[in-house]
């Protein structure tokens, strides 16, 4: 079973081996070596999901290095089949998508039937113009948040990945404040490999920004009584 390379989960399943969103900060799909590894690493995601029928106590991300809801999902329903299996296992399933409107409209039954399935999205800015440049093919961040707000009305477990946190986009605290009433769990992550991705940011600039801004974010999250997770790369900046 694929162990997770993200530290807030134990396992991950990659359903589709491409991603339609073309985010400017995505290292996986902008690095030839990573891309070829993901494309070559073939396994049947439905069979992978089936193996969890014999496992428990896991937290499984669907999906980390690609989005689980590309247009192809409407025809193939692969993610749906993976989730149907995983939900039956009793393990925690954390769905991460740039388009939570799709599972909300098609797969809501899997999130509200007493299963431990959480619906999550990534938001790194509240500015639609910035998002249009950095996440050109994704629904705008307000639509993503609106989908999770609706999910919460159905008592779905919701989570928000704020990653990468980019110093030139000072929206972190506003994202938390805006979403606090409908997000249960937050994951905060650093901006990895900015130079390779064409962003002119030094480690020192990142360190200074994170040491200034992340404690404020933590204080706000704790004052709201929110559960959160600081990813290890970000923690390293805080400890440096
Ligand atoms: S949605 Fe995720 S996997 Fe897809 S390009 Fe964006 S950051 Fe990469």
Provide mean pLDDT across the span 80-105: 96
Q: What is the pLDDT of residues 37-74, one digit of tens each?
A: 767 777 799 999 999 999 999 999 998 789 999 999 99
- Over residues 98-123, the mean pLDDT reads 95
Residue 199 confidence (pLDDT): 86
34 pLDDT higher than 70: no
Residue among 17, 20, 26 whose CB has most ligand 1 atoms within 8 A, to mutate: 26
Q: Provide the pLDDT confidence category of residue 114 given band limits of 50, 70 and 90.
A: confident
Whether 185 is in a domain gets the answer no
- For residue 29, the CA-to-ligand 1 centroid distance in Å is 7
Position of tokens 């950095």?
A: 134
Three-class DSSP labels, 177-218: HHHCCCCCEEEECCCCCCCCCCCCCCHHHHHHHHHHHHHHHH
In-domain check, residue 109: yes
Quick one: pLDDT at residue 3? 58
Nearest to 123 by CA among 105, 101, 139: 139
Q: Map residue 229 onto helix, strand or coil.
A: strand
Q: Which ligand 1 atom lies nearest to the CA of residue 27?
A: 8
Q: Residue 132 above 90 pLDDT?
A: yes
Between residues 195 and 142, which one has the greater pLDDT?
142
Q: Does residue 31 lie within any of the structural domains? A: yes
**Cα–Cα dist 215/227, whole Å:** 15
Residue 25 CA: nearest ligand 1 atom is 7
**Does 22 contact ligand 1 (Cβ within 6 A)?**
yes
Instruction: pLDDT band for 91, please (50, 70, 90 cuts).
Output: very high
The rounded Å distance from CA 135 to ligand 1 centre is 8
Two tokens at 74? Answer: 């409407």
CB 200 within 8 A of CB 159: no
Whether 136 has a pLDDT exceeding 90, the answer reads: yes
| Residue 21 is assigned to a structural domain of this protein | yes
Q: Structurally, how many domains does the chain consist of?
A: 1
Ligand 1 centre and the CA of 40: distance in Å?
18
The response to whether residue 67 sits with its C-beta less than 6 Å from ligand 1 reads yes
Q: Is the CB of 92 under 6 A from ligand 1?
A: no
Indicate if the pLDDT at residue 218 is higher than 80. Answer: yes
In angstroms, the CA 38 to CA 186 distance is: 26
Which is more confident, 6 or 189? 189
pLDDT given at position 197: 79
What ligand 1 atom has the least distance to the C-alpha of 98?
1
Work out the widest C-alpha separation in the chain, in whole angstroms.
48
What is the atom index within ligand 1 of the atom nearest the CA of 135?
A: 6
CA distances from 238 to 166, 180, 197, 211 (A): 15, 24, 23, 5
Dig out the tokens for 237 from the structure.
């900046």
pLDDT at 15 over 90: yes
User: Within 13 Å, how many C-alpha atoms sit on residue 45's CB side?
Assistant: 24
Ligand 1: which residue has its CA nearest to atom 8?
26
Measured between alpha carbons, how far is residue 35 from residues 29, 39, 152 in Å?
5, 6, 34
In a domain, 100, yes or no: yes
pLDDT confidence of 4, banded at 50, 70, 90? low
Candidate of 16, 29, 131 to mutate for ligand 1, largest count of ligand atoms within 8 Å of Cβ = 29
CA separation, residue 22 to residues 76, 124, 184, 237 (Å): 21, 15, 27, 27
What H or E segment, with its residue span, contains residue 93?
strand 92-96
Ramachandran angles phi, psi of 110, nearest 5°: -70, -20
Q: How many whole angstroms separate alpha carbon 85 and alpha carbon 2?
A: 16
Answer yes or no: is 128 within a domain: yes
Q: Supply the residue whose CA is at minimum distance from atom 6 of ligand 1.
A: 23
Residue 180 lies in a domain: no
> Could you tell me the residue range of the domain that residue 140 belongs to?
11-169
**Once rounded to an integer, what is the mean pLDDT over residues 137-159?**
97
* pLDDT mean across residues, the chain: 92
210 burial via Cβ count (<10 Å: 0-12, 13-18, 19+): buried
CATH number, domain of 165, equals 3.20.20.70
* Residue 217 domain flag: no
Give the single-character DSSP code of 68.
S
The structure's pTM equals 0.93
Q: Say whether pLDDT at 2 is over 80.
A: no
């Amino acid at each position: 079973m694929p162990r997770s390379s993200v530290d807030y989960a134990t396992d991950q399943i990659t359903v589709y081996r491409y991603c339609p969103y073309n985010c400017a900060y995505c290292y996986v799909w902008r690095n030839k070596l990573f891309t070829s590894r993901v494309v070559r690493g073939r396994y049947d995601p439905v069979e992978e999901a089936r193996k969890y029928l014999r496992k428990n106590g896991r937290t499984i991300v669907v999906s980390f290095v690609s989005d689980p809801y590309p247009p192809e999902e409407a025809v193939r329903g692969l993610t749906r089949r993976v989730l149907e299996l995983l939900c039956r296992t009793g393990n925690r399933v954390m769905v991460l998508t740039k388009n939570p409107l799709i599972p909300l409209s098609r797969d809501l039954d899997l999130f509200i039937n007493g299963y431990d399935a959480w619906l999550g999205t990534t938001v790194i800015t509240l500015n639609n113009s910035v998002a249009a440049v950095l996440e050109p093919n994704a629904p705008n961040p307000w639509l993503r948040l609106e989908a999770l707000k609706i999910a919460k009305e159905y008592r779905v477990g919701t989570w928000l990945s704020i990653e990468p946190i980019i110093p030139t986009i000072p929206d972190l605290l506003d994202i938390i404040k805006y979403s606090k009433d409908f997000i249960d769990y937050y994951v905060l992550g650093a901006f990895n490999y900015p130079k390779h991705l064409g962003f002119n940011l030094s480690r020192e600039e990142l360190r200074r920004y994170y040491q200034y801004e992340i404690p404020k974010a933590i204080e706000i999250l704790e004052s709201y009584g929110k559960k959160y997770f600081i990813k290890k790369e970000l923690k390293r900046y805080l400890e440096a």
